[in-house]
Structures are given as C-alpha cells and as structure tokens.
Chains A and B, each alone.
Chain A
Amino acid sequence: MALIETENLSFTYPSGMKPAVEDISISIEKGDFVVLTGPSGCGKTTLCRCFNGLIPHFYGGKLEGNITVAGYNVAKCLVYELARHVGLVFQNPENQLFALSVEKDVAFGLENCGMPRDDMRKRVDWALQMTGIEELRERAPHELSGGQQQRVAIACVLAMQPEVMVFDEPTSFLDPLGAQKIFEVINDLNKELGITVILVEHRLDLASRYANHVIVMNEGKIVLDGEPHKVFNSERARLIGVGIPKATRLYQILRENGLKLSKVPINSEEASQFLRKILTHD
C-alpha cells in the first residue's frame, strides 16, 4: 500500500459554503518527492492540513471519503499521534517558532512526547546538523533572518523523525537564494534520509528538478497528477495559470515553430543538453 492514500476525499470548513477540496483521490509512494501546485485558493493548504490531521481535528468541518497516512486513518487518529509520522512546515516561519532559543524550539516536539533528556540532546544536535544551523543553536528564533527561521522550522519537524514531511509554500517569504537553500535542504532529507516529501510551491523553475511526482490542483480538485515532464508539458497546466518551468515553455515554443527536441526538459540543464544534441546533429 502507498504511504499516503486518499479516496474521494472532500472537506468543507465549518464556515464554508462549498468544499475547499473535493473528490481528491491520490496515492503517494514512500520516498516520493511530490510537488503540489496550483493557483492561490485552490485548496493546497487545506490538503496539507488533511495529511497531518489538523483537518478534521483542529478545524472541525465536514470530512468525507477516506484518507490514510503511514497506515493511520486520519479521521480516527489524534493530531499528536500523527505528529510523529507526519511533519508540517508552515508558510510563515515567524508564527511557528515560539521558544526563546533555537535549540529549545527544536526540542519542543520531543519534550511533548516525553523523550528522555540524553536521547533528546542527540536528536536535537542531529536535526540542527542536518539543516546546517548548528551555530544558531543559542540564538533567539525571532532575531534570525527568514531563511534561517525556515531552516529552524524544518529542524523542529525533522527532530521528530517523521516518515513524511509536508512543506506548505516554505519559501514564499524568502528571496530566491534563500529559497534555493531551503530546496537543497529538503532534497537532502528526501535523497539521504528517504523521507517522503510533499512540497507546495509556485517557484516550479527551482523546485521541479527535485520532484518525481507532480500534482496540480485547481478549484479544490486534482487536475493533473503524474510524472513531472508529462504534467508540465500538458496544455492544461499552462491554461490554469501554473507557472510551468521556463525550459518546458521553451520546448513548447520551439515545437510550435517546427523544432522538436528529443524529450521534454523541465530545467535549464536538461534544456541545454537536448538543444546541444539537436544543434550538433544538424
């Protein structure tokens, strides 16, 4: 069975007139790097909240269909039980850090679980090292830059050693370089530790190179779901207004003008490789 599976999942907020997400059936395998994208307000954050049980337990509202994560039925499992298996990193780094030192913040989840101090110390050190913020351990989180804060937030979730980590637009408050660094950290977690990653992102040019699975949503529904090259090259992705990678767009324009590359590129490296091939052939 897949690590995350949903079947005709729909959810309506208590104050909502119509479902925020509707009829979602997806399946995410262990070790996947999923990029979840779609226009604002299409229900990405709502779906993320379903993955770790904030929906329905924190938000209330009406949940229909099935969702299982890491073998747990989300509707029947408490948020703190799921917290050990699914980590959620939020959009705004400022409001998810609440301790007075980085170290203490990273330990927060472990403290809640009642982990003995010595084990906790090792875990915290490990999480700080994996995210490259060991030298910030004594600092106050609110005095750090946005990029540093977001790495602290990642360390906080990582310290729990979850099987799945969900990132809800972790870079929307960051500059491109800071975003790049965050993506690299996330990629390391996926490739080195085998953590399943779900990354909600608009900056597809930067993010898509790491993904092996892309899901596009629109108006609460899944529109496209599959391998990145296929998804990005689909006409629908462009029409919804998803900012498909420029390399893919270049491919489409070249093809309209009669130049067909051998494969669809999704990043600049692939594009230059395929172009070179064609140019040297001619």
Chain B
Amino acid sequence: MSVFDGLKFRKVSSPVHNLDPRVKFFFVCVLFVVAVMFFQLLPLLVLFFVPIPFVLVARVKREWIRSLKGASMLAFIIFFFNFIFNYIYNEYPNIPSASLIEYSVAMTLRFVVLVETFSVFFLTTSPDLLGLALEQSHVPYEFCFAFTTAVRFVPVLADEAQTIMDAQKSRGLELERGNFLKRIKNYIPILIPLIVSAIRRSLELAEAMESRAWGATEKRTNLYVLRLGKTDYALAFTSIFMLVVAILVWRFVPIPPLSVILSFLQL
C-alpha cells in the first residue's frame, strides 16, 4: 500500500529464521570482527560469500539484494574517498598502482560484508524472538518492553500517518508545493495530530499495563524460553572455528595481494 510496508515483519519459518537469535548474533559479530581484522582483498572476498548460503536457505534473496542496492551508493563513496586520499597522500603524481586499487576495493568490500551480514540477521530474526533474546540476556525488562512495543506500534503509527495525510489533503493541504522550507512547513499539520494521538495512545497503553499488574514483582517470569538446538550448536561451533582460523591466518600466514596471485597463475 505505502512506503511503510517494509516496516512490517512477515512471519516466515526456515532453518535460518528458527536459529536462536543469540547464536545468530554471535555469528554476525564474528564475521564483523574478522572483516575488521583483515585489510587484504583475498580474505574479504572469502567473507563476502559466507552469508550467501544463509540468504538462499532463508529465501530472502529479493529483500537482501534490495538492502545491498540501498547501500551501494555509500559503498561507492567509500571506494572513491579511499582511492583519492590514498592516491594524493602516497602516490601522487605517479599513475595509481594496482595495489592501491586493490586496497580501496578491499575497504569497500569490508563495508559490503558488514552490510550483508547485518541485513541477513535482521531479515531473518523476528522482533519477538529478538525481544526474548534481549530479555534472556539480562537486559532490563523495561528496555525489552520498549523495544517490542516500538516494533508493534510502528506499523500502527504509519497507518495513522497515512490517514492523517489523506484527511489533510482532502481539506486542501498541498504537500508537494513550494520550495524546500515551504515543503517542510507543509508537514506541520500532519505532525501535530500524529504526535497528539501518539501521546494519547501511550497514556492508554500505560493504563492498560498498570491494570495488568505491571511492576508487581522484581522477578518477572516469561511464557517462552529460548533453548539451543542442534543447528544452534553447529552454528556456534562454526563461528568459533572461523574465528580461530582467522586469528591463526592473521597471525602466521602472510597474505599476498591479489595482483601477485594473478600474475603467479598466469605463469
């Protein structure tokens, strides 16, 4: 219906969706750390392919590619600045060397790896599981509650914003008219009712919470509990294994630049 559709999480089930969010998050963190450890192209190229099987199993290819496309502009900027600054600083006025290009590509790839892993994580982790994981990681309950409530009310507020927009437009409000400042001003008649209604809503919410014994005990219990299954353990061990291998390689194996490998292969 509107731009806000992307904010709704659809309930899907796949081996990746069913993974324990804590383990999944650990895996993401390991990829993150490894990506930051290396600045050579070869290991980053390997990391680039790691999330892809997860995307395929979870069947979120379309959404995933869309999020990568969204990050492509930023990736380009990163490449550009890495290249320009390093060139001016180190190699000007010579012709840019292959290793400079390789370095810039590697830095860009590092960013892409971060984006793709986080996007797989958020595409395949339902907010209620995430909230539950927060709770069971001893994050204060108020914070977890705020998180799940925000997730639950974002689509509601988005719908409401749409309704208010339609209502104000039907009274002759023109949103797309005028210069930049004028356009921002046009949104005031939409923001004010939206804020007022959000405040009213939050008061009603607080009332309902109070009426259902909010704060009755310090030791809150939980209807659900997260338990680690076989696949969770498998992923956890894979992550640790990856981390160990990465550390060993980082410490003991000199990684040749890609240009050297290519010329070696040609011989």
On whether the two chains bind one another, the answer is yes
Q: Is the CB of A80 within 8 A of B148?
A: no
CA distance A160 to B211 in the complex (A): 11
Chain A proximity of B126: nearest CB distance (Å): 8
B213 lies within 8 A of A84 (CB): yes
Q: Which of A90-117 contact B (CB under 8 A)?
A: 90, 92, 94-101, 103-104, 107-117
Q: A90-B204, A112-B215, A156-B212 are in contact. Are A98 and B221 (CB under 8 A)?
A: no
A62 at the interface (CB under 8 A from B): no
A37-74 Cβ-contact flags toward B at 8 Å (1 or 0): 00000000000000010100110000000000000000
- Set of chain B residues within 8 Å of A179, measured between Cβ atoms: none
Chain B window 128-157, contacts with chain A (Cβ cutoff 8 Å), 1 for yes, 0 for no: 100100000000000000001101110110
A58 neighbours in B (Cβ, 8 Å)? 206-207, 210
* CA–CA, A54 and B204, complex, Å: 11
Would B205 and A96 count as touching, CB distance under 8 A? yes
Please report the C-alpha to C-alpha distance between residue A95 and residue B211 in the assembled complex, in whole angstroms.
Answer: 13
CB of A100 within 8 A of CB of B223, answer: no
Which residues of the partner chain A approach B201 to less than 8 Å between Cβ atoms?
A: 95
* Contact among B131, B217, B220 for A100, CB-based, below 8 A: B131
Could you count the A-B residue pairs with CB atoms below 8 Å apart for me: how many are there? 107
Hey, which chain B residues are within 8 Å of A81, CB to CB?
A: 216
Task: Using known A-B contacts A79-B211, A80-B216, A83-B211, determine if residue A100 contacts B148 with beta carbons closer than 8 Å.
Answer: yes
Interface of A is mostly: helix
Closest B residue by C-beta to A124? B223
Q: Are A142 and B217 in contact (CB under 8 A)?
A: no
Indicate if the CB atoms of B220 and A114 lie closer than 8 Å: yes
Q: CA of A87 to CA of B11 in the docked complex: distance in angstroms?
A: 31
Nearest chain B CB to A182 CB, angstrom units: 17
Q: How distant is B180 from chain A, measured CB to nearest CB, in Å?
A: 35
Chain B's interface: helix, strand, loop or mixed, by majority?
Answer: helix
For A107, the chain B residues whose CB sits under 8 A away are: 223
Q: How many residues of chain B have a CB within 8 Å of chain A?
A: 34
> A112: which of B149, B155, B204, B214 is its contact (CB, 8 Å)?
B214
Closest to A88 in B: B211
Give the number of chain A interface residues (Cβ < 8 Å): 44
A271 adjacent to chain B (CB < 8 Å): no
Option from A96, A99, A109, A160 in Cβ contact (under 8 Å) with B148: A99
Q: Which A residue's beta carbon lies closest to that of B217?
A: A114
The answer for the CA separation of A88 and B205 in the assembled complex, in Å, is 13
For residue A120, CB closer than 8 A to chain B, the reply is yes
A230 proximity list for chain B (CB < 8 A) = none
Contact (Cβ within 8 A) B221 A116: yes
Distance to closest chain B CB from A85 (angstroms): 11
Contact yes or no, B217 A117, CB < 8 A? no
Q: A81-B216, A87-B211, A107-B223 are in contact. List 6 more A-B contacts (CB 8 A).
A: A58-B206, A80-B213, A88-B211, A96-B205, A112-B212, A116-B221
The 9 closest A-B pairs by CB, nearest first: A96-B208, A109-B212, A83-B213, A107-B223, A95-B204, A100-B128, A114-B217, A80-B216, A112-B213
Residue pairs across A and B with Cβ atoms less than 8 A apart, 13 shown, are A79-B213, A80-B210, A80-B216, A90-B204, A90-B207, A98-B153, A98-B208, A98-B209, A112-B217, A121-B223, A142-B152, A157-B211, A160-B212
List residues of chain B with CB under 8 Å of any chain A CB. Answer: 11, 126-128, 131, 148-149, 151-153, 155-156, 201, 204-217, 219-225
